[in-house]
Amino acid sequence: MRLRAILLAGIVGILSVLLLGLPSQASDVGGDEADEGPTTVVSGTVRNASDENKPVEGVTITATPDATGEEVEATSDEDGEYEMEVPALGRTVIAIDVDSLPDDVSLAEGAPTELTPVLDVGRPSFTAIFRVGQSESTAIGTLDQLAQNVYNGLYFGIILALGALGLSMIFGTTGLTNFAHGEMVTFGAIMTYTFNVAVGMNIFLSGIIAIALSALFGYLQDRYFWRILRHRGTGLIAMMIVSIGLQFFLRNVFQFFTGGRTENYNDFTTPSGISAGPVTFSMRDVYCMIIAIVLLTVVAAALKFSRVGRAARAISDNPALAASTGINVDRVVTLVWTVGVALAGTCGIILGFSQSVKFDLGAQILLVMFAAITVGGLGSISGAIIGSIIVGVLVETSTLIIPSELKIAAAMFLLIVILLVRPQGLLGNKERIG
């Protein structure tokens, strides 16, 4: 009965989200004139890397689609942001007008003044990135930078652990390699954004609602989807491919509602940095880390000491044996899904601060989460947390040696190496590999 009541409350909640979400959608497109062809939104922010990434105002950016040959122009505002609608698809030349840069600002040495992306229907918006100003990275001592990167890595790793722990718990109890887990992360961020910005609620309240909705999302997903598939006898590989389909679907639903834009919460978007020796950090990030550590400790302790946690671990070891000892496997698995998705949602809420809210926020870290739980040992609780921190630190410190676009590749590389030399991961049991 209690579950029914929660369910009902949740459905009302989701309905209200949908209802409240729609008007904001309408206001975004209301100003559109009916134009003939498909359009793509080209946007970006001009920041000066040599001056603390301050926004640069009044820079002219032009976009010329090959198809029409007509130039579209935009100028950056006081926040350095610009946006324009390009009335064509296909190859487009996006250029920055170097003469429009203020006198004391110039492009980074060797940086291109033109980008030539191919705009297509699957990508309704494009973020153009020009490297303005010489990055200071060479000016800072390598050791100091190492300290900063290790801190960044620890932060990223601890937040990542929230998502990875959920993924690992679900894998442990059901054997499902859930490719849609990244979308659970995105869900938390988008719900927080909806309540915080579209509805106008306080950020803390929005976050709590988002966590509750994530938990509900996890509950409903298992109760009315995965459990049915398990009972139908769908194989693990088939379910893995189903989760890929779900990932595809959810990611595009998110894109449908957010339109591919990069959004920020109303509060705490640019916290002031505090310097402690070589490391700069913000109180916002510290509080986020504390919240994450508390949640991780609570969940890990519950799995270790509580009755239901022991049941979950028993199911991980041997579902049939667990069921024969009187454990209600379905109920425990549904609980694991509820907690796992709530953790993933929390991961997304926190990532939304540092990486902004976007429809593919979670999809981008899915493989990093896989790397984390493989390194730690699939299905292992402490392994997921330790693996996340190792991967987080590796990803952030790798930028000292390799280009930062490749930092995710460092995690993928570690994943492949671990599969080579120790496929059970650092803390996994050997027999889990089969």
Give the binding site for another protein (CB under 8 A).
22, 25-26, 29-30, 32, 34, 36, 38-39, 41, 91, 115-118, 120-124, 175, 177, 229, 232, 234-238, 240-242, 244-253, 255-256, 259, 367, 370-371, 374, 403, 405-406, 408-409, 412-413, 415-416, 419-420, 423, 433-434
Nearest to 183, CA basis, from 166, 197, 196, 199: 166
Alpha carbon dihedral 128, 192, 155, 81, in 10-degree steps, equals: 20
Of residues 73, 88, 74, the one with CA closest to residue 40: 88
Shortest Å distance, C-beta 123 to another protein: 7
Q: How far is residue 35 from each of residues 28, 32, 94, 242, measured CA to CA in Å?
A: 16, 8, 21, 38
Q: Please report the sign of the dihedral spanned by the C-alpha atoms of residue 50, residue 54, residue 56, residue 62.
A: positive
CA dist., res. 223 & res. 318, Å (int):
21
Shortest CB 381 distance to another protein, Å: 19
Q: Closest separation between CB of residue 58 and another protein, Å?
A: 26
Is 356 in contact with 263 (CB distance < 8 Å)? yes
Least Å distance between CB 42 and another protein?
13
Residue 109 CA neighbour count, 13 Å, CB half: 4
Type of residue numbered 69 = G
- Nearer to another protein (CB atom), residue 201 or residue 253: 253
d(CA 75, CA 284): 32
CB of 121 to another protein, least distance (A): 4
125-127 sheet: strands from edge to edge:
81-86, 40-45, 125-127
**Residue 170 beta carbon to another protein: minimum distance, rounded to whole angstroms:** 13
Residue 135 CB, shortest distance to another protein, in Å, is 15
Nearer to another protein, 167 or 296 (CB): 167
Which residue type, as a one-letter code, is found at position 294? V
One-letter amino acid at 223 equals: R
Nearer to another protein, 71 or 120 (CB): 120
- Nearest CB to another protein, comparing residues 6 and 41: 41
Q: How far is the CB of 397 from another protein (least distance, A)?
A: 17
Pairing of strands 40-45, 125-127: parallel
Q: How many residues does the structure list for the chain?
A: 434
128 or 333: CB nearest another protein: 128
**Inter-helix orientation angle 361-376/236-258, to 10°:** 150
Residue number, 122 or 326, with CB nearest to another protein: 122
Give the residue with the Cβ less far from another protein, 268 or 413. 413
Provide, rounded to whole angstroms, the least separation between the CB of residue 405 and another protein: 4
Contact yes or no for 125/360 (Cβ under 8 A): no
- The encoded tokens of residue 18 equal 């949908």
Q: Which of 72, 46, 59, 57 is nearest to 129 (CA)?
A: 46
Whose Cβ is closer to another protein: residue 32's or residue 99's? 32
In the complex, least distance from residue 252 CB atom to another protein, rounded to whole angstroms? 4
* Nearest CB to another protein, comparing residues 190 and 211: 190
d(CA 13, CA 7): 10
> Which helix (DSSP H) or strand (DSSP E) does residue 43 occupy?
strand 40-45
CA distance 165 to 326: 26
Longest Cα–Cα distance in the chain: 76
**Minimum CB separation from another protein for residue 235, in Å?**
4
Torsions phi, psi for 91 (to 5 deg): -65, 130
Comparing CB distances to another protein, the nearer of 94 and 209 is 94
Of the pair 207, 218, the CB lying nearest another protein is at 218
